[in-house]
Amino acid sequence: MRKKADLLNDPLRPVLVRMTVPMMFGIISLMLFNLADIWFVAQLGTQPMAALAFTFPVSFAVVSLAIGLGIGTSATLARRIGSGDTQFAARMASDNLLMTAALMLLVGYLGHWIIDPVFRLMGADEALLPLISDYMQIWFAGSVFMVLNMVCNSIFRAAGDTRMSAVVMLVASGLNLILDPILIFGFGPIPAMGIKGAALASVIAWGITTLTALYLLYFRQRMILLTFSSVRQVWSNWCEVMTISLPAALSNMMTPLANGVLTAMVAVHGTEAVAAFGVGNRIEALALLACLALSMTLPPFISQNFGAGHLDRVKKAYATVIRFALAWQIAVYLLLALLSGPVSQLFTDDPEVAYWIRIWILIVPIGFGFQATTFLSASAFNALHQPMRALRISLIRLFLLYLPLAWLGNYLFGLEGMFFALVLANTLTAILAWSWMRRLLLQLRGEGQLIRDGAL
């Protein structure tokens, strides 16, 4: 199997680049997916734009669940593939897709009942709640396709096929970009649906690409089995995946939970500030895209090499991506700062919204290199089957540093103070995550030496 050999034997940097570059294009397409939504909705006015900004923490909580399921899937399958057990990896992939579908049908159903209370708690006023409900009712109904899509992509990556994963994401983004203006503003016999159209465009794009991904996994990768094993075996496979997926999902869900609290803090500064903060969240995802791509390609690389006992390659891969992340995000910050004016005007002609977008761009991205260090370290912990360490990092970052410092900065210095506090929190967390990973790698190397010496 050529893809497996690439991950285990080929030179480190070329194989990481070969895996990551397609993922960068895929993630660019997903970021453009979100930016297209908010750009088209912004043409409807400041209130729909603010309503969409309020939905981001809740929708990203479901996305975080999908990321967690994907991390568990990728780590378990890649380790099986690395040890040569490809048939059992296919069995696990099939069982995990079944579990994902059942779980998301439940989440989608429950989501309909929490819309009003959750968004009231976040500070949305009565004028925005109908718009938020219009969007989220459709979004929750189709979220099963989004999550299945992401888990399918994780299976592609575990098998080393990042190119196909990127193609699926690119197609989803392209469909959304075509459907957004048609469904939001209307076209021919299709009526204008406003913010509902943005949600429906997403659901249709997810549905089409999910069916395509399932087809490719069955016929091209042979990673879906239509036969069923015993109930005990299915349950065992679910438990093995969820051992990593649950902590990873909880870890990732901490971020949208924190964003929900931050949005409530921002809401006291007015609708314009919330709209700008929503734009900032989308810019953040785009600015971190290269490192996000690495966070998706690093786990299967580490898991396969960990399964094969190549700890030196694991250590070198981690050090390489951290150095790259810090240097890359400095360059991204300088570019964003230079273009802060044009970028803010791209999204709005409201001078107050544009002002807060510029302030966000000039402050928050300073900490993106440290933020990337944190989530790359968490990805490496999950790949090494240490999900609780990744979860502890997220809990410390958000509840001991991120939110308390943000509240203090906002209380003392307003929004600018809150933005600087986020930079400080990311910096402190990155230092902690890096030191924990170094300690774990030393521990694993010591255990490996003891096994070779016959002491374990």
Q: Give per-residue pLDDT as tens, 212-241.
A: 999 988 888 778 888 777 778 788 878 887
Domain for residue 453, yes or no?
A: no
Return the SS3 of 129. helix
Residue 6 counted as domain residue = no
1 in a domain, yes or no? no
The yes-or-no verdict on residue 453 having pLDDT over 70 is no
- Its pTM surpasses 0.85: no
Nearest to 209 by CA among 29, 72, 41: 29
* SS3 state of residue 260: helix
- Residue among 243, 259, 249 at smallest CA distance from 391: 249
Single-letter code of the amino acid located at 96: N
4 inside domain: no
Residues in the chain: 456
Q: Yes or no: say if 357 and 276 are a contact pair by the CB < 8 Å rule.
A: yes
Q: What mean pLDDT do residues 153-173 have?
A: 78
Answer yes or no: is 343 within a domain: yes
List pLDDT tens digits, range 244-269. Answer: 777 877 777 777 778 778 888 998 89
Q: Which amino acid is at 57?
A: P
Asked whether residue 5 is assigned to any structural domain, the reply reads no
Helices 289-307 and 311-338: crossing angle, nearest 10°?
A: 180
Question: Residue 8 — pLDDT band, cuts 50, 70, 90?
Answer: low
Q: Please tell me the predicted confidence (pLDDT) of residue 205.
A: 92
191 in the Ramachandran plot: left (φ > 0), alpha (ψ -120 to 50) or beta? beta
How many domains does the structure of the chain reveal? 1
* Residues of the chain by 3-state class (helix, strand, coil), percent to 5: 90, 0, 10
pLDDT tens-place string over residues 264-301: 899 889 888 888 888 888 788 778 878 887 887 787 78
* Residue 7, in any domain of the structure: no
∠131-136-138 over CA atoms, to 5°?
Answer: 110
Residue 452 lies in a domain: no
The band of 14, judged by pLDDT with boundaries at 50, 70 and 90, is: low
Percent of the chain scored above 90 by pLDDT?
27
Banded pLDDT at 83 (limits 50, 70, 90): low
HSE of 147, CA atoms in CB hemisphere, 13 A = 31
Task: Give the structural domain span for 210.
Answer: 12-445
Q: Calculate mean pLDDT across residues 176-190.
A: 91
User: Max CA-CA distance within the chain?
Assistant: 75
Rg of the chain (C-alpha set)? 22
Q: Is the dihedral of CA 94, 96, 99, 104 positive or negative?
A: negative
